[in-house]
Amino acid sequence: MQTQTPSAASSSPEPYLKIRGVTKRFDKFTALQAIDLDIYPGEFVSFLGPSGCGKTTLLRAISGLDVQSEGTISQGGKDISTLPVNQRDFGIVFQSYALFPNLRIKDNVAYGLVSAGRSRSEISTRVTELLALVGLSDQAMKFPAQLSGGQQQRIALARALALSPGLLLLDEPLSALDARVRARLRGEIRDLQQRLGITTIMVTHDQEEALTMSDRIVVMSRGRIEQVGTPDEVYSRPASPFVADFVGRMNFLDGRLVAPNQANCKGVDLTFAGEMTYAAETQVTVCVRPEDIVVRNINGANTNVFDADVGVMEFVGNHFATTLHINGTNLNVAADLSMNDVRDLGVKPGGTIKALLPADRLRVFATPGAAAQ
Amino acid sequence: MTAVAVEAAPARPVRQRMSRDDVIMRVVLTLLAAWLLLTVLLPLWSLLAKSFESPDGRFVGLANFVQYFANPQLTQSILNSVWIAFVSTLLCVFLAFLYAYGVTRTCMPWRGAFKIVAQIPLLAPSLLPAISLVYLFGNQGFAKDILFGHSIYGPIGIVMGEVFWAFPHALIIVTTALATADARLYEAADALKAGAWRTFWTVTVPGARYGLISATFVVFTLIITDFGVPKVIGGQYDVLATDIYKQVIGQQNFQMGAVVGLILLLPAVLAFVIDQVLQRRQSALLSARAVPYQPKPNRAIDTALFAACGLIAVAILVIIGVAFFASIATLWPYNLTPSLKNYNFDDVDGGGWESFFNSLQMAALAAVFGTAVVFLGAYLVEKTRGYRPGRAIYQFLALLPLAVPGLVLGLGYIFFFNAPGNPLNLVYGTMVILVMCTVAHFYSVAHLTAVTALKQIDQEFETVSASLRVPFYRTFFRVTLPVCLPAVLDIAMYLFVNALTTVSAVVFLYAPQTTLASIAVLNMDDAGDVAPAAAMAMTLFFTAVVVRVLYTAATRRLLARSQAWRLR
């Protein structure tokens, strides 16, 4: 299993949320398989994965909306596994905002406070404070439909925070917004979370969202955790081909092991950092990110340097997505060449260049079924 | 799979503790299910039991059925009913399609007016078109010659009356089906150079196919179970619905009435089941990203459909108009001096003006009480967490009345509530049983309206409330109910108008002090007081119109005030 280290954001070693052996079955289908996970106080953790991977199911188990079939969940040292929703301690924000359309913004934010029996003046102070927190103080008297999507989502956030819950759950909070608003709100939510120091879990299928906002990312696939790590770890050192494929773009080069630190892919010998504990001839997949491929200042390096024909060049805005054919082989590699590279080196389709696949940037995975020695 | 199960066996499955909300919701939903059990299922059960009993209450197996099928006069009614329903349904759905096409797919003038005129038959008891037809084509009818010597009393009259009465029901369904067309399909057909005729058959008709099928079943059920039209104009032509009435009211043969009731239940249940299956398939076919179709002017088509719709609308107006003029004539058709003497209901048998006020009271009670029960039930069945068996049973009981003809339900009420040992016997012969029966009779459509409205609002309101530790009933009153107010008012209106005009279920249940106006129409017509019958039917019609207009005005003001949040 993964070793889970508390991230920089937390100071206490004791997890706030402990998930142990959580399994969820719907009739014959197993949506979650024995999930173990610790989340530390003040952390921002994202559950990332394609639809159907179990990320929402796990969030619903944590909130008590759809309780797990097996396993335990404890929050702040208290076992909450069997508690109904309204006896748990969390605030939740949905993709659809779920603002009450017939109530004014101030009444939406005050909704939980009124039932908690706070005094009128206390409620009004708290509402003012919360609206200021999300930067919408001047919208108190409006109805939700009069606000933009981004504003509505900030109100939903303020409402969720009203009772100062110990845990904030965000269920695809930005998916309904357009790209520009989404990018801005990303920063705002993260900033707010850090100021309040509230432990937060966000479910998302958008890797960019997870990478920019989280302290740690939990990558999930088919009801299992594939990897838990900081955004940098998940991006640079994916623990499995699935993670490598799902987060960012990746070249997958099929080959076989010829030495503990070398693989042969379609006649090209690639040297990589570290050693594989598999027998020679084991089928492996070598992964390299298109943006890690180097085409300039290759001075003197001689490992993993190849002459390549330039194939299709697709202009993507800030770079060219380029296909390189390694000379003398039929190995194709996708490389992202910066505008500068292309201009300075005069790269064009049909030309030739030198390309370096840095050894410390290669990730190698044994093809499933291969046995470790 | 087995390996996982074996491995997981030691772990105890987690069961969530119930919150106070969960307990309250389950208890109330169970109570409402019990209410439906009492007002729908148990009466039907009594009906079933009765059909296997002899008049003195002994179990006689299938003897009653054997007796029924041995009587060719009775079995002839089955054929008659099916034949009438078949012909009327085809005609009605065809006309409704034509009309709906004109209203939704052309640029003909007065489309708004056409829509309103088509709703007229909904506001009158089914007895009214039959009475009008008698005035038009009966023995003294001024348009009698159009029938070339055929008598209106019989299949011709029944078919005409039923088509008129069922028309708006078919129209609503077909209009909905035609209104949700995807413009992109028409553009594609255009781009592929398909002609108008080919586009009609390959795009329009398939698109409306499910609506047409659904309309066919709904109309078939309505017509085969309708009692008002054949009662007034059927003459010697017996159908199942009039047979039940004759057996029970005429001959006091309750056992045979129960047998006929069960036979009448069959086509209704069958149509209901087929329609449910088809609807399930339809929802899977609808695409969410359709672009709404905007009709373009086309002189030939617009003119043709304007003529066709015009004829239909004129026919509707004539039928209502004849009843109205007959009711205010001194002696139709000989003395046409306007007079209100036919409105002196206290001068004729049938219950007098009191029956009208009874009807108003009954309709108001059914609207208020029925709306509360229906909406609360729909809310709980949608929002209660877990409790699958309870919700499934409720859902079944709520949809069941759709398949139960009013006459059959009413008959079941006699057997159940008038049974000697039943402590609920005391509601028998009171206003309470009329309200109970009427609410149960019209439950399903109201329930479906409420469910649709509830499905359209955000599904996470309850979750958010629970996470904020707000009890569900607070969110229900503060948010759900206000947001669904238009649907709630629709349900109240639907129940009110139907309670006002219904004849079938309550015809077995009224008592001398609880006579209803719609039944007064029936009884006056039966006694030969046709003009007062027309007058009473028109009174009900005008009441429904006035209430409808008041309702529209009131809701507009109410919505403007309470639904300010809808405006941007």
CB atoms B482 and A71 under 8 Å: no
Most confident of the ranges B63-67, B287-291, B476-480: B476-480
Q: What angle do CA A117, A120, A124 make, to 5 degrees?
A: 115
Instruction: Round to whole Å and give the CA distance between A294 and A357.
Output: 7
Q: Which residues are CB-neighbours of B270 under 8 A, at least 6 positions away?
A: none
In Å, what is the CA distance from A79 to each residue of A58, A67, B13, B414? 16, 13, 15, 57
Regions of chain A with pLDDT less than 70: 1-12, 369-373
User: Which amino acid makes up residue A114?
Assistant: V
Residue from A47, A373, A349 nearest A218 by CA: A47
Residues in chain A: 373
Decide if B526 contacts A62 (C-beta within 8 A).
no
CB atoms B478 and A103 under 8 Å: yes
pLDDT at B4 over 60: no
CB atoms A86 and B469 under 8 Å: yes
Decide if A319 contacts A336 (C-beta within 8 A).
yes
CA distance, residue B286 to nearest chain A CA (Å): 22
Question: Which residues in chain A are closer than 8 Å to B474, comparing Cβ atoms?
Answer: 115
Q: Which residues are CB-neighbours of B174 under 8 A, at least 6 positions away?
A: B93, B96, B97, B100, B208, B211, B212, B215
Residue from A124, A121, A113, A215 nearest A160 by CA: A113
Q: What is the pLDDT of residues A316-373, one digit of tens each?
A: 888 999 999 998 888 999 999 999 889 988 888 999 999 999 998 999 998 876 555 4
CB atoms B565 and A143 under 8 Å: yes
**How big is chain A by its Cα radius of gyration, in Å?**
25
Closest residue in A to B473 (Cα–Cα): A115
Q: What angle do CA A337, A339, A342 make, to 5 degrees?
A: 65
Instruction: Identify the residue among B4, B7, B14 best suited for mutation to test binding to A, counting A beta carbons within 10 A and taking the highest.
Output: B14
The domains of chain A are located at: 43-50+86-245, 249-366
Which pLDDT value is given to residue B283? 55
Range of weakest confidence among B31-40, B42-51, B316-325, B558-567: B558-567
Question: Which residues in chain A are closer than 8 Å to B468, comparing Cβ atoms?
Answer: 91, 111-112, 115, 159, 162-163
- Give a three-class secondary structure readout of chain A: CCCCCCCCCCCCCCCCEEEEEEEEEECCEEEEEEEEEEECCCCEEEEECCCCCCHHHHHHHHHCCCCCCEEEEEECCEECCCCCHHHCCCEEEECCCCCCCCCCHHHHHHHHHHHCCCCHHHHHHHHHHHHHHCCCHHHCCCCHHHCCHHHHHHHHHHHHHCCCCCEEEEECCCCCCCHHHHHHHHHHHHHHHHHHCCEEEEEECCHHHHHHHCCEEEEEECCEEEEEECHHHHHHCCCCHHHHHHCCCCEEEEEEEEECCEEEECCEEEECCCCCCCCCCCEEEEEECHHHCECCCCCCCCCCEEEEEEEEEEECCCEEEEEEEECCCCCEEEEEEEHHHHHHHCCCCCCEEEEECCHHHCEEEECCCCCCC
pLDDT at B431 over 70: yes
Mean pLDDT of B213-227: 88
Which pLDDT value is given to residue A373? 45
- Which SS3 state, helix, strand or coil, does residue B329 take? strand
Mean pLDDT of B115-138: 89
Which pLDDT value is given to residue A3? 42
- Which SS3 state, helix, strand or coil, does residue B271 take? helix
A&B contacts, CB < 8 Å: 116
Q: Which residues are CB-neighbours of A5 under 8 A, at least 6 positions away?
A: none
Which pLDDT value is given to residue B562? 63
Instruction: Identify the residue among B464, B473, B559, B561 best suited for mutation to test binding to A, counting A beta carbons within 10 A and taking the highest.
Output: B464
Residue from the list A69, A85, A103 with its beta carbon closest to the beta carbon of B13: A69
Residue from A201, A217, A156 nearest A41 by CA: A201
Question: Which residues in chain B are closer than 8 Å to A35, comparing Cβ atoms?
Answer: none
Which pLDDT value is given to residue A4? 47
Residue from A207, A370, A360 nearest A285 by CA: A370
* A143 close contact with B: CB closer than 8 A: yes
Share of chain B above pLDDT 70, in %: 94
* A96 close contact with B: CB closer than 8 A: yes
Residue from the list A82, A92, A144 with its beta carbon closest to the beta carbon of B467: A92
Question: Which residues in chain A are closer than 8 Å to B469, comparing Cβ atoms?
Answer: 86, 112, 115-116, 163
* B30 close contact with A: CB closer than 8 A: no
CB atoms B14 and A85 under 8 Å: no
Instruction: Identify the residue among A24, A68, A85 best suited for mutation to test binding to B, counting B beta carbons within 10 A and taking the highest.
Output: A85
Q: Which residues are CB-neighbours of B63 under 8 A, at least 6 positions away?
A: B54
CB atoms B460 and A94 under 8 Å: yes
- Which SS3 state, helix, strand or coil, does residue B422 take? coil
Residue from B397, B80, B69, B435 nearest B262 by CA: B69
CB atoms B470 and A112 under 8 Å: yes
Q: What angle do CA A88, A91, A97 make, to 5 degrees?
A: 135
Q: Which fold has domain A43-50+86-245?
A: Rossmann fold (3.40.50)
Which pLDDT value is given to residue B270? 86
- Which SS3 state, helix, strand or coil, does residue B24 take? helix
Better-predicted residue by pLDDT, B279 or A5: B279
Go through the domains of chain B in sequence order and give each one's CATH number.
72-339 (1.10.3720.10)
Residues 97-136 on A with a CB inside 8 Å of B are: 97-98, 100-103, 111-112, 114-116
Per the omega criterion (within 30 degrees of 0), is the bond before B333 cis?
A: yes
Residue from A110, A121, A192, A126 nearest A154 by CA: A192
Which pLDDT value is given to residue B567? 55
Q: What is the pLDDT of residues B224-238, one digit of tens each?
A: 988 889 998 888 899
Instruction: Round to whole Å and give the CA distance between A180 and A327.
Output: 42
CB atoms B8 and A71 under 8 Å: no
Which pLDDT value is given to residue A285? 92
Q: Estimate to the nearest angstrom the gap between the alpha carbon of B389 and the chain centroid.
A: 28
Residue from the list A23, A84, A98 with its beta carbon closest to the beta carbon of B460: A98
Closest residue in A to B469 (Cα–Cα): A86
CB atoms A21 and B11 under 8 Å: yes
Strands A363-366 and A283-288: antiparallel
Which pLDDT value is given to residue A186? 93
Residues 51-90 on A with a CB inside 8 Å of B are: 63-65, 67-72, 81-88, 90
The pLDDT confidence band at residue B3, using thresholds 50, 70 and 90, is very low
Q: Beta-carbon neighbour count of residue A3 at 10 Å?
A: 6
Residue from the list B459, B460, B483 with its beta carbon closest to the beta carbon of A101: B483
Question: Which residues in chain A are closer than 8 Å to B567, comparing Cβ atoms?
Answer: 145
Q: Beta-carbon neighbour count of residue B469 at 10 Å?
A: 18
Buried b (16+ CB within 10 A) or exposed e, A306-342: bebebeebeeeeebbbbbbbbeeeebbbbbbbeeebb
Q: Which residues are CB-neighbours of B333 under 8 A, at least 6 positions away?
A: B135, B140, B142
Which tokens belong to B262?
């069960």
Better-predicted residue by pLDDT, B201 or B276: B201
Instruction: Round to whole Å and give the CA distance between B539 and A71.
Output: 68
* A366 close contact with B: CB closer than 8 A: no
User: Which amino acid makes up residue A68?
Assistant: Q
CA distance, residue A365 to nearest chain B CA (Å): 27
CB atoms B469 and A116 under 8 Å: yes
Each as own residue / partner, the long-range contacts of residues B469-477 (CB below 8 Å, 24 or more positions apart, any chain) are: B469/A86, B469/A112, B469/A115, B469/A116, B469/A163, B470/A111, B470/A112, B470/A114, B470/A115, B471/A115, B471/B20, B471/B21, B472/B21, B472/B24, B472/B25, B472/B383, B473/B24, B474/A115, B476/B379
CB atoms A145 and B566 under 8 Å: yes
* B471 close contact with A: CB closer than 8 A: yes
Model ipTM value: 0.82
What mean pLDDT, rounded, does chain B reach? 86
Which pLDDT value is given to residue B419? 85
Q: Which fold has domain A249-366?
A: OB fold (Dihydrolipoamide Acetyltransferase, E2P) (2.40.50)
pLDDT at B181 over 60: yes
Residue from B75, B524, B194 nearest B326 by CA: B524
CA distance, residue A26 to nearest chain B CA (Å): 13
Residue from B169, B141, B148, B58 nearest B402 by CA: B169
